[in-house]
Structure 1
Amino acid sequence: MPERAAARPGDGEILLRGRAAGVDAADRLARSGAAPLCGEPPFSLGRDVSGVVAETGAGVALFRPGDEVFGMVGSGGHAVHVTAPAGHFAVKPAGLDHVHAAAGAVGHVAVRLAEAEGAYVIGTADFTESVHSIDAALDLVGATTVCCR
């Protein structure tokens, strides 16, 4: 596998040293060639990531090296290091390990954390741009969420 030069964060970006990365449908599509989301090989897949800030670019005030964070990047999350805008990350809660922080789109992690603390969680989504014929949405992974128009 070809080696690449070490990544450096640009203005407003962080350099993340990955500890965990999720695998989602977009990764599967890119790897299969069905959706050329990452350009021509060689490239690194991975969008959902968790790790430690290794370096910050100019203008980043949210984080400093050593902070544990999680978030979503455009691609490259399966690499050892990845750069992305600092605004794409949040501080990883101390009680959440890196594997769970990187497990899919980060919204569901926040919901599960809130539920674990006894919160009654109400979620909303706007599907009007992409899905026109949906009258109801059901959570099929165990929550009791039903939403109707």
Structure 2
Amino acid sequence: MLLYNKQKKKEMVKGNRILISVTFLGSAGPIRFVANEGDLVASVIDTALKCYAREGRLPILGSDFNDFLFYCPMVGPEALSPWEAIGLLGARNFMLCKKPEEKKVEEGNGRSNFPINGSRKRAGGSFKAWINKSFSLKVTTH
């Protein structure tokens, strides 16, 4: 019993535990859970996503913490680094947003099918050139 109490005290020395509230952009309300002050932002995001999925909330977000940005409205408009400790901020309310998807460039030369001025070329040439060629007067001499 004495050994058990010593192990328990060592675990509590690890750091203070804090109640965190994470609001998901587009979801009904925040998720609250307890974390250690020394936990990294990445592990807090991971825990929040697991709680979100366990509760069966919508919209379905996924489970990769690299696809999300973690904000603290009290600190500023920049996203928090995933490798800093959550307790250093002194805040308890956070917001989790999905990263914007990057636009994929089309395969090939990376250019659009349409030129900048809006005109298009047809595969067989222009209609006007075809008409002129068809109706051109050809005078043959014998």
TM-score range, shorter chain: under 0.3
Work out which of the two has the higher radius of gyration on C-alpha atoms and give 1 or 2: 2
Q: Which structure features the higher share of helix residues? A: 2
TM-score (structure 2 length as normaliser): 0.27
Please, what TM-score do these two structures have when normalized by structure 1? 0.26
